[in-house]
């Protein structure tokens, strides 16, 4: 790489399309995006789909669309090819093949013809004797050129293994964690390529990061052991490695690794789920920004839009300790951004959610939007509108309350007041009910089935006279 290239920051997000974009992936994408954009660099999306059995085309599209929705548009990607492409690993097989051959020619990798069964047996026998730290025995390193030729001629399946120099140390300055060192003797001769023409992840990642001119790699801490292997590969290929930073793990409230099985959060871990529930991209971005990063000591600002996030982002603020995912904080952000929405946008989004749920006719739009505004201040996400406003669209459960006579009288009085009210406006409803204010909790129960909620005169006005009188009916 020449000097000019090195000064340009190029980061990448490299998902395997084996599922939808989740919070952890989105956070990795965000930090890489911010790092690049902070210095007018480039943010690249690379699809790592060499695991053919688990990869699906629809996940590639969905993950890309989720990134766009979040505002993290890649500068280069399979959807926007550029000179470093193709950006999808299954379209780069000939490139991996070429470098595998080069390593083979230089005797840095060797053919291994051991079958799965042989390897399993070898491992089992080893563990009986030594208990731990099994590594491949390097048996196939002893094969003679004739034996190798024979096997190749008979088309015996093989893999290529990297001959890891046992006596060397491999260290790097982690951008988040400081110096990390590995010893060659602890790294197995790992597989980089299979005879079916497919590379293994670590090999493909190294080739791609190098050829795509990636300068910085921010990724989850679960990749630290991959980094060790990748460093050996960089050395073997005679290339400089990018700089690596390993992000803290995301934990649940019990401080265990966030898992799909977590009951409270399982429906909130995927970006498409949050989208469906009516979370706003700016809220998710702001929330993710603080999931493992902090702007610095003494800085209390919690609200950052994407532009401010770019300006303020720095590697120093990345934490090593686990970042705890809490729904409360996500909701807090989303509630905040819902209050900030332009009225028109708020109306549009609420109508979309309620129309779909209650199959409402177009002429109800204005009325429905007024209802939505009643709940806006407390809304954590748009989908909550459905339950909060249900009593406007469906009859609430009738609660039969044993009322003392005095209350029954008052209720009758209320009904009369409302029956006689000709000018059905919020203000006139409010005026009419001045004298029965202490009955409001009871009226609310009868009209909505709820003990609390938005201001009662507003509810009464929006429910409309007919519904109100019907619901206030007493059992005779």
**Residue 312 burial by Cβ neighbours in a 10 Å radius (0-12, 13-18, 19+):** middle
Residue 90 engages ligand GLU in binding (rule: CB under 6 A): no
Alpha-carbon separation of residue 71 from 60, 337, 347 (angstroms) = 17, 15, 22
Closer Cβ to ligand GLU, 16 or 137, answer by number: 16
Tallying the residues shown for the chain, one arrives at 476
Choosing from 121, 260, 307, 316, the catalytic residue is 260
Closer Cβ to ligand GLU, 16 or 407, answer by number: 16
116 is catalytic: no
Residue 15 engages ligand GLU in binding (rule: CB under 6 A): yes
Cβ-contact 210, 138 below 8 angstroms: no
Q: How far apart are CA 365 and CA 459, in angstroms?
A: 17
**Residue 354 burial by Cβ neighbours in a 10 Å radius (0-12, 13-18, 19+):** buried
The first and second tokens of residue 375, run together, are: 């709940």
CB of 248 to ligand GLU, least distance (A): 15
Alpha-carbon separation of residue 306 from 64, 310, 424 (angstroms) = 18, 6, 45
Closer Cβ to ligand GLU, 241 or 334, answer by number: 241
Closer Cβ to ligand GLU, 92 or 219, answer by number: 219
Nearest to 458 by CA among 468, 466, 446: 468
Residue 223 engages ligand GLU in binding (rule: CB under 6 A): yes
Residue 108 engages ligand GLU in binding (rule: CB under 6 A): no
Cβ-contact 387, 394 below 8 angstroms: no
Closer Cβ to ligand GLU, 22 or 444, answer by number: 22
Q: What part of residues 30-89 is at the interface with ligand GLU (CB under 6 A)? A: 48
The first and second tokens of residue 198, run together, are: 């497919």
Binding mask 378-417 toward ligand GLU (x if CB under 6 A, else -) reads: ----------------------------------------
Binding residues for ligand GLU, rule CB under 6 A, total: 7
Which of 37, 219, 246, 446 forms a contact with ligand GLU (CB under 6 A)?
Answer: 219
Q: How far apart are CA 188 and CA 139, in angstroms?
A: 13
Q: Give me the phi and psi of 43, to 5 degrees please.
A: -115, 125
Closer Cβ to ligand GLU, 162 or 385, answer by number: 162
CB of 15 to ligand GLU, least distance (A): 5
The first and second tokens of residue 194, run together, are: 């299979």
Residue 161 engages ligand GLU in binding (rule: CB under 6 A): no
Q: What part of residues 172-211 is at the interface with ligand GLU (CB under 6 A)? A: 205
Where does this chain touch ligand GLU (CB under 6 A) — which range of 13-21, 100-108, 120-128, 351-359?
13-21
CB of 89 to ligand GLU, least distance (A): 9
Q: Give me the phi and psi of 158, to 5 degrees please.
A: -140, 170
Q: How far apart are CA 278 and CA 271, in angstroms?
A: 11
Residue 109 engages ligand GLU in binding (rule: CB under 6 A): no
One DSSP character per residue, 162-229 reads E---TT-EEEEEETTTEEEEEEGGGS---EEEETTSPBPHHHHHHHHHHHTT--EEEEEGGGHHHHHH
Where does this chain touch ligand GLU (CB under 6 A) — which range of 10-18, 111-119, 323-331, 398-406?
10-18
Which of 9, 10, 11, 14 forms a contact with ligand GLU (CB under 6 A)?
Answer: 14
Q: How far apart are CA 334 and CA 108, in angstroms?
A: 53
Residue 22 engages ligand GLU in binding (rule: CB under 6 A): no
Binding site for ligand GLU (CB under 6 A): 14-16, 48, 205, 219, 223
Catalytically active residues are 260
């Amino acid at each position: 790489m020449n000097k000019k290239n090195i000064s340009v920051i190029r980061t990448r997000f490299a998902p395997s399309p084996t599922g939808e974009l989740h919070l952890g992936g989105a956070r990795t994408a965000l930090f890489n995006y911010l790092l690049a954009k902070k210095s007018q660099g480039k943010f690249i999306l690379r699809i790592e789909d060499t695991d053919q059995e688990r990869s699906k085309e629809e996940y590639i599209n969905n993950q890309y669309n989720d990134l766009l929705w979040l505002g993290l548009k890649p500068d280069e990607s399979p959807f926007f090819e550029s000179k470093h492409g193709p950006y999808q690993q299954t379209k780069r097989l000939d490139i991996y093949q070429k470098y595998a051959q080069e390593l083979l020619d230089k005797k840095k990798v060797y053919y291994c013809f051991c079958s799965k069964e042989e390897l399993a047996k070898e491992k089992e026998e080893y563990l009986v004797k030594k208990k731990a730290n099994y590594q491949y025995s390097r048996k196939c390193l002893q094969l003679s050129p004739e034996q190798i030729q024979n096997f190749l001629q008979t088309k015996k399946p093989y893999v290529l293994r990297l001959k890891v120099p046992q006596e060397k140390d491999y260290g790097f300055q982690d951008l988040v964690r400081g110096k990390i060192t590995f010893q060659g003797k602890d790294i197995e001769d790992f597989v980089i390529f299979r005879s079916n023409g497919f590379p293994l992840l670590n090999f493909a990642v190294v080739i791609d990061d190098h050829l795509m001119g990636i300068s910085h790699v921010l990724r989850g801490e679960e990749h630290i052991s991959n980094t060790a292997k990748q460093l050996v590969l960089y050395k073997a290929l005679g290339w400089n490695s990018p700089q690596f930073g390993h992000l803290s793990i995301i934990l649940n409230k019990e401080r265990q690794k966030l898992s799909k099985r977590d009951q409270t959060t399982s429906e909130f871990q995927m970006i498409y789920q949050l989208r469906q529930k009516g979370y706003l991209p700016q809220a998710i971005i702001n929330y993710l920004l603080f999931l493992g990063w902090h702007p610095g000591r003494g800085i209390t600002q919690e609200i950052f839009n994407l532009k401010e996030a770019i300006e303020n982002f720095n590697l120093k603020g990345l934490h090593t300790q686990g970042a705890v995912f809490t729904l409360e904080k996500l909701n807090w952000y989303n509630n905040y951004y819902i209050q900030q929405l332009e009225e028109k946008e708020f109306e549009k989004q609420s109508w979309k959610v309620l129309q779909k749920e209650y199959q409402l006719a177009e002429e109800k739009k204005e009325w429905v939007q007024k209802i939505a505004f009643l709940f806006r201040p407390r809304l954590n996400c748009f989908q909550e509108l459905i339950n909060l406003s249900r009593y406007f669209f469906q009859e609430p459960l009738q609660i039969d309350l044993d009322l003392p006579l005095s209350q029954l009288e008052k209720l009758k009085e209320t009904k009369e007041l409302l029956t006689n009210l000709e000018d059905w406006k919020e203000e006139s409803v409010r005026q009419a009910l001045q004298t029965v204010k202490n009955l409001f909790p009871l009226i609310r129960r009868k009209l909505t089935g709820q003990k609390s909620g938005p201001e009662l005169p507003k509810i009464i006005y929006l429910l409309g006279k007919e519904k109100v009188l019907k619901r206030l009916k007493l059992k005779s």
